[in-house]
Amino acid sequence: MNRPAAVPVPVDYPCSDGTPLAESDFQLEPTVYAITALRTHFRHQERVYVAGDMFVYFKEGDPRAVVAPDVFVVLGTAKHQRMSYKLWEEPGAPDFVLEVTSRSTRAEDQGRKREIYASLGIGEYWLFDPTGDWLAPRLRGFRLHAGEYRALPGVALSGGGLGVRSEALGLEVRHDAAGRLRFHDPASREDLLSHEEMWERTEEEIAARRAAEARLEEDIATRDARIAALEARLGNVS
Quote the domain boundaries for residue 235: 194-238
Query: What average pLDDT score do residues 155-170 get?
Result: 95
Number of domains the chain contains = 2
219 and 177 co-located in one domain = no
Contacts (Cβ under 8 Å, ≥6 apart) of 183:
34, 37, 38, 41, 169, 171, 172, 173, 174, 191, 192
The pLDDT-based confidence of 213 (bands split at 50, 70, 90) is: low
Query: What average pLDDT score do residues 16-32 get?
Result: 80
What pLDDT score does 101 carry?
92
CB 130 within 8 A of CB 103: no
161 and 136 co-located in one domain = yes
What pLDDT score does 142 carry?
97
Tell me the C-alpha distance between 184 and 163, whole Å: 9
The DSSP letter of residue 124 is E
158 and 47 co-located in one domain = yes
183 and 84 co-located in one domain = yes
202 and 178 co-located in one domain = no
Residue 207 main-chain phi, psi, to 5 deg: -65, -40
Looking at 45-49, 76-80, 89-93, 201-205, which range is the least confident one?
201-205
CA–CA distance from 88 to each of 57, 62, 93, 188 (Å)?
A: 9, 12, 9, 37
Count of beta carbons in the 10 Å neighbourhood of residue 39: 16
Looking at 22-36, 69-83, 145-159, which range is the least confident one?
22-36
Tell me the C-alpha distance between 56 and 52, whole Å: 10
Q: Is residue 166 part of a domain?
A: yes
Q: Is residue 9 part of a domain?
A: no
Q: Is residue 138 part of a domain?
A: yes
The pLDDT-based confidence of 103 (bands split at 50, 70, 90) is: confident
Q: Is residue 3 part of a domain?
A: no
The pLDDT-based confidence of 222 (bands split at 50, 70, 90) is: confident
198 and 180 co-located in one domain = no
Contacts (Cβ under 8 Å, ≥6 apart) of 148:
118
Domain with residue 155: its CATH number is: 3.90.1570
Looking at 66-80, 94-108, 207-221, which range is the least confident one?
207-221
Looking at 11-20, 104-113, 156-165, 168-177, which range is the least confident one?
11-20
Q: What share of the chain is helix, strand, coil (3-state, %, to 5)?
A: 30, 25, 45
Query: Does position 20 have pLDDT exceeding 70, yes or no?
Result: no
CB 49 within 8 A of CB 81: no
Pairing of strands 96-100, 71-75: antiparallel
Q: Is residue 232 part of a domain?
A: yes
Residues 47-77: pLDDT tens digits?
A: 999 999 999 999 999 999 999 999 999 999 9
Question: Taking Cα atoms as reference points, which of 51, 76, 42, 49 lies closest to residue 185?
Answer: 42
Q: Is residue 57 part of a domain?
A: yes
Q: State the chain's mean pLDDT as an integer.
A: 87
Tell me the C-alpha distance between 11 and 13, whole Å: 6
158 and 82 co-located in one domain = yes
Query: Does position 206 have pLDDT exceeding 60, yes or no?
Result: no
139 and 230 co-located in one domain = no
What pLDDT score does 120 carry?
97
Query: Does position 205 have pLDDT exceeding 60, yes or no?
Result: no
120 and 62 co-located in one domain = yes
The DSSP letter of residue 200 is H
pTM equals: 0.81
Q: Is 169 helix (H, G, I), strand (E, B) or coil?
A: coil
38 and 138 co-located in one domain = yes
What pLDDT score does 58 carry?
97
Is the CA virtual torsion 212, 218, 219, 221 positive or negative? positive
